[in-house]
Amino acid sequence: MENQTVEIFRIQFVAIAVSAGMMAFVFELIRRKKLREKYSLIWFAAGIVMIVLSVWRDLLDRVAFLLGVGYAPALLFMVALGFGALLMIHFSVVISELTEKNKTLAQEIALLKQELKKNKNS
């Protein structure tokens, strides 16, 4: 019985450490200007949710019961996967934005190059 308690405590500790480590890493990336604050929010949100679920084990059990998930840790995977999917959609949006801006930029360059050449010749 005592052994089991220790093991539960251990996995909790690992989960908290990994989540906190991830958040620290994201924080460090922002500090070094490798990551924009705008794109870090979703990472912090994921980290906080994982820490809350790790610390407050009872919450996970209760939500799992509410949703009808028989095996509570499966809910943890579901939440993690959900965040993963959300992040990827977020990236698709960002990439689409960049593509659109990149296109406009290329068009402007073509128009400006022609303008410049015309002015040089005249």
Binding site for other proteins (CB under 8 A): 99, 103, 106-107, 109-111, 113-114
Instruction: Output 10 or 113, the one with its CB closest to other proteins.
Output: 113
- Ramachandran angles phi, psi of 100, nearest 5°: -65, -45
| Cβ at position 97, least distance to other proteins in Å | 13
Q: Which of 94, 91, 83, 92 is nearest to 45 (CA)?
A: 83
Burial of 74 (0-12, 13-18, 19+ CB in 10 A): exposed
Instruction: Output 8 or 110, the one with its CB closest to other proteins.
Output: 110
Burial of 63 (0-12, 13-18, 19+ CB in 10 A): middle
Instruction: Output 4 or 121, the one with its CB closest to other proteins.
Output: 121
| Cβ at position 112, least distance to other proteins in Å | 10
| Cβ at position 88, least distance to other proteins in Å | 19
